[in-house]
Amino acid sequence: MKGEWRTDVIWHEAECGGYAADLDLWEEMATTSEGQVLELGCGSGRVCSHLERRGHEVVGLDSDPKLIGNLANAKVGDAREFKLDHRFGLVLAPMQLIQLFAGAGERQRCLACVAAHLTPGGLAAFAIVESMPEPTDDASPLPDTREVDGWVYSSLPVDARVDDDAIRVRRLRQTVSPHGEFSEELYEVALRTLDAGTLEAEAKDAGLIPAGRRAIGPSDAHVGSTVVLFGREA
The pLDDT, as a whole number, for residue 136 is: 59
- Residue 115: HSE in the Cβ half-sphere, 13 Å Cα cutoff: 18
Rounded CA separation 45/68 (Å): 7
Rounded CA separation 50/206 (Å): 30
For residue 214, being part of any structural domain is answered with: yes
pTM comes to 0.92
Q: Say yes or no: 112 and 157 in one domain.
A: no
pLDDT band at 160 (very low <50, low <70, confident <90, very high): confident
* Domain at 169, CATH number: 2.20.25
E-assigned strand segments in 18-150: 37-40, 58-62, 74-76, 88-93, 118-128, 144-148
pLDDT band at 220 (very low <50, low <70, confident <90, very high): confident
Q: Say yes or no: 84 and 109 in one domain.
A: yes
For residues 141 and 66, the model is more confident at: 66
For residue 224, being part of any structural domain is answered with: yes
Q: Say yes or no: 97 and 185 in one domain.
A: no
Domain count, the chain: 2
pLDDT band at 113 (very low <50, low <70, confident <90, very high): very high
Is residue 10 pLDDT above 90, yes or no? Answer: yes
Between β-strands 208-216 and 58-62, what pairing exists: parallel, antiparallel or unpaired? unpaired
